[in-house]
Amino acid sequence: MTAFTMGAVTYDPKVVTIWDGFRVWLTAAGLPFDYVLYSHYERQVEDLIAGRIDAAWNSPLAWIRARRLAEARGLPIRALVMRDTDRDLASAVVVRADSDIASVDDLRGRTVATGAVDSPQATLLPLEHLRRHRLQPGTDFTVRRFDVGVGLHGDHLGGERDAARALIAGEVDAACVLDGNHLLFTKEGVLPSGSTRLLTTTDLYDHCNMTVTGAADASLVAGFEELLRSMSYADPAVRPLLDLEGLTSWEDGRTDGYDLLESAVTASGFYDGTGTVTAAEYRP
Amino acid sequence: MNLDLAGLAFDTGGRLLVQKTLAGLPPESTITVTGRNPFLTLHLRAWCRASGHCATVGDDGRVQIVKGRQDADRWVRAERAGEPDTVARWPPGHWGLAARGALLEAGGPEPAYDLDDRDVVWADLAPRLYAHAAAGQWDPATAVPWDSPFTLPTDIEAAVVQIMTYLVENEQAALVIPARLLTRIHPHFREVVGLLAVQAADEARHVDVFTRRALHTGGRMGSSSAGGRASLASLLAEPDFTLASFLLSVLGEGTFVYLLTFLDRHAPDPVTRAVTRLARADEARHVAFGVAHLEHQSATDPTMLGRLRRAIERRHDVLVDTAGLNQDVFDALLLLAAGDWAPEALSRGHREVQQLQADMDAGRRRHLSRLGFPDDEAAELSALHTRNFM
Ligand SMILES: [Fe+2]
Ligand SMILES: [Fe+2]
């Protein structure tokens, strides 16, 4: 029998540990499951649309592209499940505590540091948030991008952390950072407690999801969904994997948390309406 | 319940207060958190998400937290790793390195300790011996009068150096054996592990002070014989905990105690006297544990005496074609007891060394009888002991 095959992007070596562990668990539970690894999200999305894999563990940006590609081809596509921790994230734009920047409008003419070109949380979403405050990136203010791990859609924190460092070093006037990473960078000492001031926060948005198209075997998709949803944090066999993957439970996939990112992708011209990569400086 | 953090930031201590407040509540309980730090809402939401709690922000800016199941689920199948004061018969491998009596989260590694049977590892005397050993540690820098001036005749100094050289290689073996054994013992038996660790540390000190005494007068080390090293290699080759402990501690160190007593008595200088006397006190403890451990076992295992006997015979067969004690060591002992080259002194020295060997033999027979061997068998087995003493 052909195994139900999922794609995952190796933004970190732990991805192998996680999906090897889940593979053992899922197989033992009766689902013929396998996974393949990708070095970046674009090929994973293309393979999903081409039917070479049955599911893709997608970044929010990869979801946007997959959805656009699928709809352009008339393929059904949906978010099967997501982690509890993929729901209701927020990004912040922060300045140094002693900065003269008091409001978003004060960013005019200044320099804002972001993560990698393809980071939803540290680049695309906060810049879209500023657009909604009538500040055009590159026109009303300068964007200083920190391109680390391009193609990993911001899963690699390196660029985001470098942006935070640049803020503290005085090289830029503001930096964009995910809420949880602001807390993390505080702990790491990259952004010492009290060294930054909160300028503005995006609306809440959602992060990764497990994307499937209509091409996969429906009963296997249903089995995969049911087993993921059944994973319990109380199960000592699966808990270390949930800890590594950063979730307490798999929840229903919902897609109404991606509106801000849809706008960001369109406004920045990252992908066109049919899912073609159109971002000028994007080389995954 | 409302928790007001006032001006406290979440990342400078606020988290502890939130965590403490939630810790006392069952899942699904609700608290609200207020405070003036501008990052509070951002940080609270991020932390709650990662911790499995649900955070929502009201119109009034209060953050409402519904406690999640993460903490409860993590500990739902937890168990105690025994009780602190009770030694389990078969501690399971998954208790692993956890403290005796600790609350164990389920899951985690399942290390295999091949020495996990109380009846093989334990001796009731172990906790007391450990305390005694910990209290008996001495500092090589201050316990030995390194600065006392002395001058020995060249031959006597050479005899001391030869004996120290021999002692060092025996101490090295005595260090490696408990160090290797202790990694195989389930950490649940921490007093035994601790005792073996202190024993290894004792031997490290012996290696240190004997080496320092050998080089004290600026000369070179003495000789090491192939037969001596063969004897020690056969000691290291014994994988069985009980048999290794028997051969090393009861027979080897049991014999060595007499040798160190002899050296203390005939020491020609204060440094030699101090290092042998200090080592002797440690060795007596090593022998005591070896004997206690084997007594504990022979009480429960009727096959043990037969196994001990075969271990002695096996080792004897391996060593039968080797020279045994380094002739240079034997001569050095004789000269030390003689004190000079006068014929009557040498004759006295020879008698002293004969007496030493008789004392060693009597000591071994006493230990063997205590373990349950009849007197004739004890005498026979004692005679098979390595001529290298250890
Ligand atoms: Fe020793
Ligand atoms: Fe010893």
A:60-99 residues touching chain B, CB 8 A cutoff: 84-85, 87-90, 92
Residue A111 is predicted with a pLDDT of 98
Domain hosting residue A129, numbered range:
91-201
> Are residues A82 and A215 both part of a single domain?
yes
Nearest CB to B49 within list A88, A186, A249 = A88
DSSP per residue, chain A? -PPEEEEEE-SSTHHHHHHHHHHHHHHHTT--EEEEEESSHHHHHHHHHTTSSSEEEE-HHHHHHHHHHHHHTT--EEEEEEEGGGSSB-EEEEEETT-S--SGGGGTTSEEEES-TT-IIIIIHHHHHHHHTT--BTTTBEEEE---STTSTT-STHHHHHHHHHHHTTSSSEEEEEHHHHHHHHHHTSS-TTSEEEEEEPPPB---EEEEETTS-HHHHHHHHHHHHH--TT-TTTHHHHHHHT-S-EEE---TT-HHHHHHHHHHTSB-TTS-B--TT---
ipTM: 0.94
Torsion, Cα A180 A186 A190 A192, to 10 degrees, reads 150
Q: Which pLDDT tens digit goes with each residue over B264-308? A: 999 999 999 999 999 999 999 999 989 988 988 888 888 999 999
Mark yes or no for CB contact A233/B69 under 8 Å: yes
Question: What whole-number distance in Å separates Cα of residue B5 and Cα of residue B65?
Answer: 14
Q: Is the full-model pTM beyond 0.95?
A: no
Whether A217 is covered by a domain: the verdict is yes
For chain A, how far is it from start to end, CA to CA, in angstroms? 34
**CATH code of the domain in which A58 resides:** 3.40.190.10
CB atoms < 10 A from the CB of B125, how many? 18
> How many structural domains comprise chain A?
2
Backbone angles phi and psi of B94, in degrees to 5: -70, -10
- Look at residue A1 in the predicted model and tell me its pLDDT: 54
Contact between B106 and A198 using a beta-carbon 8 Å cutoff: no
Q: Whose atoms come closest to the Cα of B249: which ligand?
A: 2
Is the pLDDT reported for residue B320 higher than 90? no
> How would you classify the pairing of strands B79-80 and B103-104?
antiparallel
pLDDT mean across residues, chain B: 94
Q: Which of residues 183-242 of B touch A (CB under 8 A)?
A: none
Residue B85 to chain A, least CA–CA distance (Å) = 28
Instruction: Please say if the pLDDT value at position A123 is more than 80.
Output: yes
State pLDDT tens for residues B352-384: 999 999 999 999 999 999 999 999 999 999 999
Report the pLDDT value the prediction gives residue A280, as an integer from 0 to 100.
Answer: 86
Distance CA B67, CA B31 (A): 8
* Per-residue pLDDT reduced to its tens digit, A57-115: 999 999 999 999 999 999 999 999 999 999 999 999 999 999 999 999 999 999 999 99
Look up residue A117 and give its DSSP letter: T
Are A25 and A50 within one domain? yes
B47 close contact with A: CB closer than 8 A: yes
DSSP character at residue A30: T
Domains identified in chain B and CATH numbers: 2-72 (3.30.110.40), 77-111 (no CATH), 118-383 (1.10.620.20)
Sign of the Cα torsion B314, B318, B321, B326 reads negative
Residues A213, A80 share a domain = yes
Residue of A144, A136, A139 whose CA lies nearest to A169: A144
pLDDT digits (tens, 9 = 90+) for B172-221: 999 999 999 999 999 999 999 999 999 999 999 999 999 999 999 999 99
Give a yes or no: residue A284 inside a domain.
no
In angstroms, the separation between the Cα of residue B24 and the nearest Cα of chain A is 19
CA A111 to chain centre: 24
In this predicted model, what pLDDT tens digit does every residue of B125-162 receive, in sequence order?
899 999 999 999 999 999 999 999 999 999 999 999 99
Clarify whether residues A35 and A112 are in a common domain. no
Cβ-based contacts under 8 A for chains A and B? 72
Question: Are both A248 and A263 inside the same structural domain?
Answer: yes
Per the CB < 8 Å rule, is A248 touching B74? no
